[in-house]
Structure 1
């Protein structure tokens, strides 16, 4: 019998996973794999204290690694679908920086701020906006979150979608469910565009060499623009680079004949840029 495929779109799956193993887990690469990209993007913002959104933080040490790139830890906002992961993240930050943060992810009096932590479903714009302000973030960072989202089932969404490119789009249009489900990565891209400021950079580490198919100008899988925003007009690809995985190491006895030579493993770093096309939540202009 074939092994059961994990339910990456299930909050229950992630809570169970992080409950059964509370140790830090790194997806694809070590926390420092994105250092060069983070440094370059932060420099390009020209802002004194840009806000960074770390989506799908899980139990990765990347959250704490990012702290070295900012002046104020409160600039970093960690999100995850699992409340267990968020609890562990707050707890670990308190253990690493006991004089600065309490165990609830809040800053201690007269001490430097700690990072922000929230349980959020990035496929639900209401959940996202409950924790994040529109047009707030200059940098979005993730390690394999888009991979996990892409492995989730396609989603039926209300039409017209609550987020629109035109503020004057009527809100009294007859609501209906999409006849065909939408790829969850498209939904996440639109929702993230709502909280990213113009010119924001989205740094994504992925195992796929074609992780963002919606950037393909020939893609015809999207709905009409007045029903669902076209993510192609919200994000552009700035950079795509190969990242070679760790190589096999010879045994301690120096006998290289016993080394198992694994095939070359490549991961990919994508840097996307938020365009100047504005987004609106339907009805907010009334």
Structure 2
């Protein structure tokens, strides 16, 4: 019997099919409350009165709706997903619950979160939905895990995003495209829309989710083609998180009770540096 192939987490078709076949809420790794302490801490250092949240890979998680408890206005939350199906489901679910917000005064119309279907690995797609240097918090519950499973992205030289405001605009069509790891591209693209000192809060199953923060671990092609994420993001915290959903398992004869081994996830908090990013041609 042939082995079952792994899910195509980098495929938009996979996610559309998954959410079309099962529209019920699904949580990756932890409950919607799993990142609360880190969010509260990030809000404490945010300089603006109405910080903007970017929730990447919202899927069918109830985290989108839980985030509303952290803001005064639902429009401060911007949910992004690769799948248009997931975005539509989220919008419908929100319209079903927005009117019962206990914070609404009599006669007050509800406000809604923003929702967009976006390819996070395409800066044009991201900027079509998001403004540059707009977000103070980026919320990521296992989305980086899914993106890490995608194939490398072939990037032509020169990359359209640069740390040099006067970088040349003439793209050499004869240059050879370089294979870049998708997380490397994700980090650069998110840096384009994050404010200086913005927090990127990630829950991951991996204890080495962002190796690019160590510049020596990156390939020469990545160093030469794409701005280094190690100059755009710094690691503020990395900690082990006990999976609170652990439950005892009873044997068939009910003579003993065994426990599943502890499962630990990892919390990463990255902070955007002050290094600016530019699109080639910004100076023209």
Shift of 1:146: 0.2
Residue in 1 that maps onto 2:269:
271
1:249 Cα shift?
Answer: 3.5
8 A contact 1:141–1:203 mirrored in 2? yes
Alignment of 1:181-196 (within 5 A): 181-196=179-194
What SS does structure 2 have at the residue aligned with 1:171? coil
1:22–1:59 contact (8 Å) kept in structure 2: yes
Provide the C-alpha distance between the structure 2 equivalents of 1:247 and 1:112, rounded to a whole number of angstroms. Answer: 33
Q: Where do 5+ consecutive residues of structure 2 fail to align?
A: 102-106
CA distance in 1, matches of 2:178, 2:86: 32
Moved more, 125-134 or 40-49: 40-49
User: Which residue of the partner structure matches residue 6 of structure 2?
Assistant: 5
Deviation at 1:173, TM superposition (A): 4.1
Q: Give a deviation string over 1:72-114, Cα, whole Å, max 9, x none.
A: 11000000000000000000001111478xxxxxxxx962421
- 8 Å CA contact 2:165, 2:280 repeated in 1: yes
CA RMSD of aligned residues (A): 2.1
- 1:238-272 CA-partner distances (Å, limit 9, x unpaired): 001111113543479xx985333212211001000
Listed as ranges, the matches of 1:249-268 within 5 Å are 249-250=247-248, 257-268=255-266
Cross-structure match for 1:37 = 38
- In structure 2, the partner of 1:218 is 216
Following superposition, the deviation at residue 218 of structure 1 comes to 2.0
Aligned length: 277
Give the 3 Å change call, closer, same or farther, for CA 128–248 of structure 1 in structure 2: closer
Distance 1:77 1:264, change over 3 A: same
Q: Give the Cα–Cα distance (whole angstroms) in 2 for the partners of residues 217 and 248 of structure 1.
A: 36
Residue 46 of structure 1: how far off its partner (Å): 3.1
Contact 1:160 1:226 (C-alpha < 8 Å) held by counterparts? no
Q: Distance in 2 between matches of 1:45 and 1:213?
A: 27
Please, what TM-score do these two structures have when normalized by structure 2? 0.92
Contact 1:37 1:203 in 2 (8 A): yes
Structure 1, unmatched stretches of 5+, are 101-108
Counterpart Cα distance in 2 of 1:79 and 1:208: 22
SS at match of 2:91: helix
Q: Is the 8 A contact 1:251 1:258 kept in 2?
A: no
Task: State how 1:85-234 maps to structure 2 within 5 Å.
Answer: 85-98=86-99, 111-176=109-174, 178-223=176-221, 227-234=225-232
Task: Give me the TM-score of the superposition, normalised by structure 1.
Answer: 0.91
Q: What is the CA distance between 1:9 and its match in structure 2? A: 0.9
1:15 deviates by 0.3
